Amino acid sequence: MKKSVYGILSLAVLFTAGCSSKNAVAPSGGADAGAGAGVPAPAPVTSVEAGPSGYGFDEYQTGPLGDVFYEFDSSELSSDAQNQLQQNATWMGNNAGASTLIEGHCDERGTSEYNMALGERRATNAKEYIVRLGIPSSRIETVSYGEEKPFAAGHDESAWSKNRRAHFILK
Amino acid sequence: MRLLMRPAAAFLLTFLLSLAFSLPARATDGEYIAIRKEGSGRIALIVAPPLAEGGKASSWSGEIDREIRRALDFTGLFNMIPPPMNLFEEGKGGKPALNFGALNSIGAEVFAGGTVSGDPDRVRLTMAAYETFGAKPILSKTYTGSSGDLRALAHAFCADLVQLLTGHRSVFGSSIVFVSNQSGFKEIYSCAFDGSNVRQLTRSRSISLTPALSPDGTSLAFTDYTSGRPALKIMNLSDRRIASVRQSGVSIDPGWRSNAEVATTLSFQGDQEIYLVRTDGSLSRRVTSSRGIDLSPSFSPDGSRMAFVSARYGNPQIFILDLISGQTRRLTYNGNYNTQPSWSPAGDKIAYSSMEKNGEINIFTIRADGSGATQLTSGDRENESPSWSPGGDMIVFTSSRQGQKKLYVMNANGEHQRRLLQMSGEQMQPSWSFVR
């Protein structure tokens, strides 16, 4: 059961990566992440290695739960983000013992107090979305780091777009 | 020049000391400023080194003179003119007297001078100030302390002089708390009004943010991540004991309403709202109730109104809540990103930062009725986190104009912008204490 669901997820992720140009990032260490989560990697579909990759996965997210990204000064969930959260909810549904911490992050622009508040809204919006899909809220914690712990260095949109995220950590 | 003055010293000393005992300690506040034209600029001031009585006193005189000049110049209120060679003239009966004609002819409005005497355990600094037009004495006072207190003696005189001339509290004796990442972690520091005497107040090695001193200066509110999430901490500065707000969710950006109550954003009820919290960390009451971000409380001096940031209409704007009537009204309408309100000590204005479309952030002031928005910084990257000096003459802020974030000060009208302190790493989120 787990295996088949995961295979479908991987396909969906790959498909999403193909469509999403805005936040597309290089696939990374997908097989490692799959092994780390105790889930066997499905057979390769293309030349790209199977496992978590695409929209929610990059060098900063190699776990089984993908991150979601935001526009500037926004905590609204794009369709890509909603798609990723659905996948995260499916994974959590299949791994009932797992719980997660969602960190809300912002890019460096704007003022840090407001970004702290915005980061929390990003984390809680992501949590609420997953809870609405049936995952108990007790399994999801949230925290905001505002602009305090950026992932990508740099002062341009390529760095900023990576730093506006809800980051999932398996607990 | 001091050589020229020495023969006159003994006579002048007698003259000034007699004034010290004959004048009230302080003239009526605001009397001087009342006769100045509105917006007439800096006060032309001549300060003479205090005349020394005795060998030890001559070294004290130099130090006191330097400190008085440096401190008064820091305020940005004065145009400091060097004393003229002919500061003294022959007065009645052949005794030397202050040459007010010479002081007036070089444009001085105020002259200050005095005497210093005593022994290392008990230094006596007697200072007098005159309005030069009319040769009118406006201040005379004696300050005593040990020879280790010369800076404090000088600042005490500067505080009295500025309060007399402006009618409100000076910066002297006040302090500024701020965040620096100098140690590799963001920790809270304090420094004196002029950037001297930097001290590290927290060593949590997590992320400490948004420090704010209580109005009486005894408590420091800030947030840190020692619990894994940003939580409000209230430190008693006398014994360094820390009270925490033990609520789930985040706490963001405290602002003091009184010595007993601090407001902060908490999210334990789901939505982010502003609550009043007692100094022991217990909740007093909730003061906002709108969906979306409510943030960064800053109170009017009487505590009856609260400026804050709300994103209730989409992007962040500044609002004012009247805590008596419960009415909320929007204060800012220009720009799409107005945050970090700071209510002036006089109560009439609110400083805030506004981000432009190109990412530049600038500091503005606006009257509490929403009129008179005035831009104080421009064209220099991110200028943010404004905080008023105790008398409202100056604003301390963060600027990245030279790359890294550093602390700057400026006059309340935006003039005289300069670095506050030299310190490695970045400094940010300054908050000026209202205490002396």
**What count of other Cβ atoms lies within 10 Å of the Cβ of residue B216?**
13
Q: Which residues of A touch B252 (CB under 8 A)?
A: 113, 116-117, 120
Q: What is the mean pLDDT of residues A157-163?
A: 97
State the Cα–Cα distance between residues B220 and B213, nearest whole angstrom.
5
Kindly give the pairing relationship between strand B261-266 and strand B251-256: antiparallel
Both tokens assigned to B392: 């409202």
Same domain, B197 and B48: no
Pick the last residue of a domain from B166, B200, B225.
Answer: B166
State the Cα–Cα distance between residues A57 and A60, nearest whole angstrom.
7
A148 contacts B186? CB cut-off 8 A: yes
Both tokens assigned to B193: 């009004």
For chain B, what is the radius of gyration of the CA atoms?
A: 24
User: Given this model, what pLDDT does residue A2 score?
Assistant: 43
Same domain, B380 and B330: yes
User: Given this model, what pLDDT does residue A37 score?
Assistant: 42
Pick the last residue of a domain from B166, B184, B201.
Answer: B166
Same domain, B140 and B185: no
Same domain, B215 and B102: no
Pick the last residue of a domain from B166, B184, B210.
Answer: B166
B272 touches chain A (CB under 8 A): yes
User: Given this model, what pLDDT does residue B397 score?
Assistant: 98
Q: Which residues contact A57 (CB under 8 A, 6 or more apart)?
A: A13, A25, A27, A28, A30, A33, A66, A67
For chain A, what is the radius of gyration of the CA atoms?
A: 15
Bigger pLDDT: B326 vs B39: B326
Same domain, B29 and B107: yes
Same domain, B110 and B216: no
Question: What CATH number is given to the structural domain containing B398?
Answer: 2.120.10.30
Chain B residues 161-180 with CB within 8 Å of chain A = none
Q: How confident is the model at residue B26 (pLDDT cuts 50, 70, 90)?
A: very low
**What count of other Cβ atoms lies within 10 Å of the Cβ of residue A4?**
9
Same domain, B331 and B284: yes
Same domain, B83 and B124: yes
Q: How confident is the model at residue B2 (pLDDT cuts 50, 70, 90)?
A: very low
Distance from CA of A11 to the nearest CA of B (A): 35
CA dihedral B149, B259, B326, A115 (to 10 degrees): 70
Same domain, B336 and B424: yes
List, for residues A58-76, the tens digit of each pLDDT value. Answer: 999 999 999 999 999 999 9
Q: Is the dihedral of CA A113, A115, A120, A121 positive or negative?
A: positive
List, for residues B134-144, the tens digit of each pLDDT value. Answer: 889 999 999 99
> Does the interface predicted TM-score (ipTM) exceed 0.90?
no
Chain B residues 190-219 with CB within 8 Å of chain A = 207, 209-210
List, for residues B245-300, the tens digit of each pLDDT value. Answer: 988 889 999 999 999 999 999 999 989 999 999 999 999 999 999 998 999 999 99
| Ordered structural domains, chain A, with CATH | 67-171 (3.30.1330.60)
**Of the listed ranges A3-7, A86-90, B243-247, the one predicted with least confidence:** A3-7
List, for residues B227-256, the tens digit of each pLDDT value. Answer: 999 999 999 999 999 999 988 889 999 999
Question: What CATH number is given to the structural domain containing B125?
Answer: 3.40.50.10070
**What count of other Cβ atoms lies within 10 Å of the Cβ of residue B142?**
17
Same domain, B138 and B182: no
Q: Which of A74, A76, A109, A116 to mutate: most B Cβ within 10 Å?
A: A116
Bigger pLDDT: B386 vs B20: B386
Q: Which of B204, B207, B272 to mutate: most A Cβ within 10 Å?
A: B272
The shortest CB-CB distance from B296 to any of A113, A144, A145 is to A113
Q: How confident is the model at residue B152 (pLDDT cuts 50, 70, 90)?
A: very high
Domain total in chain B: 2
User: Given this model, what pLDDT does residue B92 score?
Assistant: 82
Q: Which residues of B touch A73 (CB under 8 A)?
A: 315-316, 337
Same domain, B340 and B210: yes
Same domain, B340 and B388: yes
List, for residues B86-120, the tens digit of each pLDDT value. Answer: 998 888 888 888 999 999 999 999 999 999 999 99
Q: What is the mean pLDDT of residues B206-225?
A: 95
Strands (E), B225-289: 231-236, 242-244, 251-256, 261-266, 273-278, 283-286
Domain that holds residue B193: 174-434
